Amino acid sequence: MTRYFVSRHPGAMAWARQQGVAADFQVTHIDPEIIHEGDLVIGTLPVNLAARVCQRGGRYLHLSLLLPHAWRGRELSVDELHACDARLEEYRIEHLPGLEEGA
């Protein structure tokens, strides 16, 4: 099993270290095609990439926040992440084909 922490945000990376989140690789972007059965991906992926991780047999832990609207679009410190109730939540996401054409 390989563990990936995916983020381009220094505050999120510092928060993860502070929480003892272990990762084999810390990356700013992930190609889901490298994921193997049992791999773990941690971060805030777009839903289509998270779905592909799950489809390939990986597990996805989402870095969830209760982010005030005024804080959107800016870098957050570790303290601000704590204030936003930062936590890891596991999701299994499945793509449901067929709606793309008629949506």
pLDDT for the residue numbered 61: 98
pLDDT for the residue numbered 101: 61
Residue 100 inside a domain? The answer is: no
Residue 96 inside a domain? The answer is: no
The domain of 85 spans 3-91
User: In angstroms, how far is the first alpha carbon of the chain from the final one?
Assistant: 37
Distance CA 65, CA 91 (A): 15
pTM of the model: 0.91
How does the average pLDDT of the chain come out, rounded?
95
Total of domains in the chain? 1
Residue 60 inside a domain? The answer is: yes
For residue 86, the tally of other CB atoms under 10 A from its CB is: 21
Residue 65 inside a domain? The answer is: yes
Residues whose CB falls within 8 Å of the CB of residue 14, separated by 6 or more in sequence, listed in order: 78
For the segment 52-80, the average pLDDT, to the nearest whole number, is 97
CA distances from 39 to 10, 35, 75 (A): 23, 6, 28
Residue 66 inside a domain? The answer is: yes
